[in-house]
Amino acid sequence: MSLISPQFPPGFVHYPQFFNQEEQRQLISQVKQAVATAPFYKPTMPGTGHPLSVVMSNFGPLGWVTDKENGYRYEKIHPRTGLPWPALPHLLEELWLKVSGYKYPPEATLINWYRPEMKSKMGMHVDNDENNFDAPVVSVSLGDPAVFRMGGLKRGGSTLPLKLYSGDVIVMGGESRLYHHGISKVFYGESDLVPKGGRINLTMRRVNSVIV
């Protein structure tokens, strides 16, 4: 049962503890397997080349990547290895079917690792590099808890906090799909789920409106 404030925009849903401990451990082991062939890499901002504080990898046919030269985009291959991204685990495919209300499977699942030694956070942003916004973004939190902040359609202004724990799922669809949001704080060292500590966030997205 979700207890989020009615001030959150329509289309935003929080499922606390969607995944139990065993499922969380399973998801972490699948992330470990994926990064054995698609290692975490350090993404950089378009133009400035400034590194983000999280490291990233992806599951599925498309992966979200960014670098100084070519900016934010989706690619079929890992930027370092040149290999296709590992397949999406069934547990995540099932999650999408249960909560997205969308007729096609997700194309891209971004893996973000918030590392203790980097004190990683994520600034306010909008997920708008997709060609289609009909599908929601479905997001899974694993490991250390964090404060998610929901802003508005426009940049700046006030934000609402929501504490996310390991196993929580959020869905940003409908009106909330293009709202600003970010991670303002991670409570490092509270969970021992992630092997080297920190927080793993998985965000599942549809990139195109049709299957080609």
Q: Which of the choices Fe ion, ligand MD6, none does residue 139 contact, using the CB cut-off of 5 to 8 A by kind?
A: ligand MD6
Contact residue for ligand MD6 among 107, 127, 130, 168 (CB under 6 A): 127
Cα 88 from Cα 104, distance rounded (Å): 14
User: In the set 58, 120, 159, 203, which binds ligand MD6 (CB under 6 A)?
Assistant: 203
Tokens (6 digits) for 106: 């997700």
The closest of 169, 168, 145, 154 to 9, measured between CA atoms, is 154
Phi, psi of 51 (to 5 degrees): -70, 145
Identity of the residue, 81 or 123, whose beta carbon is nearer to ligand MD6 in the bound complex: 123
Interface mask (CB under 5 A) for Fe ion, residues 108-147, using x and -? -------------------x--------------------
Helix axes 90-99, 21-37, angle to 10 degrees: 120
The distance of closest approach from Cβ of residue 35 to ligand MD6 in the complex, given in angstroms and rounded to an integer, is 17
* Choice from 112, 120, 159, 166 touching ligand MD6 (CB under 6 A): 112
171 strand-pairing partners: 13, 138
CA-nearest of 120, 125, 161, 128 to 144 is 120
Task: Note the residues at the interface with ligand MD6 (CB under 6 A).
Answer: 112, 122, 127, 137, 139, 148, 170, 172, 181, 183, 201, 203
